[in-house]
Amino acid sequence: MQTITPFLWFNDNAEAAANFYCSVFKTSKLGRVSRQGPGGAVMVVAFELDGQEFIALNGGPMYKFTEAVSFVVHCDTQQDVDHYWTKLTADGGAESRCGWLKDKFGLSWQIVPRILSKLMSDPAPAKSARVMQAMLKMNKLDIAGLQQAYDQG
């Protein structure tokens, strides 16, 4: 059992969000759904994405997601980057810069190839600077483009 669980506040679509996220991540499962009131309205939904537990609450319209909190998805291949980017920006999601996006519920995600950390932390400042400049021009991160910038010189 994990010690820290992200708790996400939704207006009234926590169950739809949990189902959506479970459809995006290959290793996921919907957990318990707590209902309240005479109509059995959903209050809390537990779900798991790639081994990470989450809880979604239908808390009302008082609070909205901002970019101050985001989830990073580490990807091994461009195919993985493309998969998560396409799925999470579908149906009203929005692309942003440098691997960031917002999904249709307004939650921010960073879709990041694992190799980026290696390329950005090279001891040769010119190499990491070229990678940074390439990344700043991208919305969805392109592994081949980042690697090309690193290899120049």
Give the structural domain span for 135: 115-151
pLDDT on residue 101: 98
23 in any annotated domain: yes
Specify if 106 maps to a domain.
Answer: no
What pLDDT score does 37 carry? 83
Q: What is the pLDDT of residue 153?
A: 65
Classified as helix, coil or strand, 74 is strand
**Domain final residue pick, 32, 48, 64:** 64
Please report whether residue 29 resides in a domain. yes
pLDDT at 95: 98
Asked whether residue 136 is assigned to any structural domain, the reply reads: yes
Strands (E), 59-135: 70-75, 94-95, 100-102, 108-113
Residue 118 near residue 151 (C-beta atoms within 8 A): no
pLDDT in tens, the chain (153 residues): 789 999 999 999 999 999 999 999 999 999 999 999 888 999 999 999 999 999 999 999 999 999 999 999 999 999 999 999 999 999 999 999 999 999 999 999 999 999 999 999 999 999 999 999 999 999 999 999 999 999 996
Question: Does residue 60 share a domain with residue 1?
Answer: yes
For residue 59, being part of any structural domain is answered with yes
Tokens of 45: 């939904």
Q: Where residue 28 sits, what CATH number does that domain have?
A: 3.10.180.10
In total, how many domains does the chain have?
A: 2
78-89 helix and 14-24 helix, angle to the nearest 10 degrees:
160
One-letter-per-residue 3-state SS of 21-37? HHHHCCCEEEEEEEEEC
CB 58 within 8 A of CB 13: yes
Query: Does some domain include residue 4?
Result: yes
Does the residue 144 lie in any domain?
yes
Decide if 96 is inside a domain. Answer: no
At 38 the pLDDT is: 85
